[in-house]
Amino acid sequence: MFGAAAGWQQGESSEDAFKDSYGWAFHRDPTGKINDAQRAIMAAHALLKKAGLEDAEDGLFWIDPLDPLSAEGQQTAAKIRPVVSELRMDAERAITLLAEARAAAKSEERTLENPEALDALELGARRVDFIGAKFQEMDEAISIYNQARAMVATKTRTNEISSMLDNIGSNNGKIEDMRDGYTELGELYKRAWLRDNRPYWLDNNLRRYDRAAEMWIGRSDRWQSQVVQQWWDTKTLPLPEQVGFPPVDDGGHVPSGFPR
């Protein structure tokens, strides 16, 4: 769109002027919130590039942060870890600004033009946020599990340990957040696709969302059968590597680069 705008202007076109006028020219949004949402997404992409990860490319969305055989996943986690909080804040700011722009238009009985582009922007922002959430929540899960294992020897904190295990995997645990994220985003992707394209090839792309969700469903099931059940039966917990987490050494130390 910037290229199209530049083609109608004399001399060098200003990116800043384009960013300032985009929301009004393309969406008829006088609030400036859509401009700011675009800037927030640009900031998220720039943040990933600064971290050495190009931008929020499709590959990041599918990487499994817990795959012990994936050097790519481990390297990506190490790079994204220092910027993950800021990344998610940029993405969530974009989502919030879009909601505010839509709410303002509704309350003032205005119509935002090209709403399908706003839906696509929101989908992109949610995918960026999920990239960050995936690595952030699994880091937290690893840390919680190591803390729980360290508390087992006290034999006095069973309720606390049970709550920690539920935090990792239960009806609304961190593992289930990953399952739900792929399921929800798959549905949003389907809607975005059908607004602009014929159904051809859509099912092939949706299978990736289904496969990712099924992987996390399997992890959820194994967590209940192998970790929670063992805890209730024996008041012991498996080694981290037995449940798909990074191993710890004999001194209880986590390998370099992983959360402690």
CA 68, 73, 75, 79 torsion-angle sign: negative
Q: What is the mean pLDDT of each run of 10 residues along the chain (260 residues)?
A: 87 91 96 97 95 88 82 86 96 98 97 95 96 95 96 92 96 95 97 92 96 97 96 96 82 47
pLDDT (0 to 100) of residue 68: 64
Closest of 211, 219, 145, 146 to residue 177, by C-alpha: 219
**CA 215 to each of CA 65, 67, 206: distance values in angstroms, whole numbers, following the listed order:** 12, 11, 14
Give DSSP secondary structure letters for the chain: -HHHHHHTSSSSPPHHHHHHHHHHHHH--TTSHHHHHHHHHHHHHHHHHHTTS-SS-HHHHH--TT-TT-HHHHHHHHHHGGGHHHHHHHHHHHHHHHHHHHHHHHHTT---S-HHHHHHHHHHHHHHHHHHHHHHHHHHHHHHHHHHHHHGGGSS-HHHHHHHHHHHSSTTSHHHHHHHHHHHHHHHHHHHHHHHS-STTHHHHHHHHHHHHHHHHHHHHHIIIIIIHHHHHHS----GGGGTSPP--TTSPPPTTS--
Q: What pLDDT was estimated at residue 251?
A: 47
Asked if residues 227 and 221 have their Cβ atoms less than 8 Å apart, the reply is no
Query: Taking the complete model, does pTM exceed 0.95, yes or no?
Result: no
**Residue 249, pLDDT score:** 60
